[in-house]
Chain A
Amino acid sequence: MTPDPSEQKNPYEGNPSRAWIRIRLEAFNGSKVELKLIADTGAPFAFVVSSEVLGQCNQGDGPHANTNFGILEGAWFRLALPELGLTQKLFGYASDDVVTSTKLNRADFDGLAGLPLLRLLEYGGNAEEFWIRKVSETITQVSWRNSRTG
């Protein structure tokens, strides 16, 4: 059975086990960069990737942030996840120290995904896996109606 492309179901990985998601960013030259990011609903950043990815995918400079990992460089990125309904620009961050720490957890982790990105999707988890999926039409309409009525 072919998996539904509008949903990711990812078994926890790493030591200790982490929820994770896979995203793609569009590089400035039009190519795509795929990344495997630890999902952290407590992080106030859409995502944190390496300075190398920033160099490839930067669409514009922006405010940096001070953290316990030092300065995170802020920049604009373009998401390339049409199957999840996400092709917009999004403000994210770069820090090699953050990425190095995620790789200590598991070598193929490429950084962090935080709440500002996760809330653009539906997300959740159970004992075995963490999932994300495209926001359903019904929820989109209710959110739109609520935003109009205040």
Chain B
Amino acid sequence: MRGEEHDLNQAAYRKLEADINKEYPYGRFVGIVGGQIVADAGDFDELHSFLRKEGTDPRNAFIVQAGHQYPESAVIFVIETMS
């Protein structure tokens, strides 16, 4: 589990998801840090560079692509659960 920063950003993303999909062009990369959108870029590496310049390790930033559907829940059928 990734901790408080992830939980904060995950909650912020689910609140902002509709706005992100409406306000940013399809496919644009959006970075969320501390529960807020801090950067956007047309290219993944460009967003990484920007985050580094701002002193954020991009591995800890929450990154989504506008218009992309990230499943909130799903069932995996091909293998069996342990319990």
Give min CB distance, B83 to chain A, whole Å. 9
Residues of A within 8 A of B76 (CB): 40, 43, 48, 67-69, 98, 112
- B63 to A101, Cβ gap below 8 A? no
Q: How many residues of B contact A (CB 8 A)?
A: 31
Q: How far is the CB of B64 from chain A (nearest CB, A)?
A: 6
**Interface-lining segment among A5-13, A57-65, A122-130, A136-144:** A57-65
A44 to B69, CA, bound (A): 10
Question: Across the interface, do A59 and B59 meet the contact criterion of CB distance under 8 Å?
Answer: yes
Place the interface of chain A in its size category.
35 or more
**Interface of B, helix, strand, loop or mixed by DSSP:** loop
B59 adjacent to A58 (CB under 8 Å): yes
A63 in contact with B75 (CB, 8 Å): no
Which has the most chain A C-beta neighbours within 10 Å: B61, B77, B79, B81? B79
Report B-chain residues with C-beta under 8 Å of the C-beta of A89.
44
Q: Which of A2-49 contact B (CB under 8 A)?
A: 18, 28, 38, 40, 42-45, 48
**Which A positions have Cβ atoms within 8 angstroms of B?**
18, 28, 38, 40, 42-45, 48, 58-69, 71, 73-74, 76, 89, 91, 97-98, 100-102, 104-105, 112
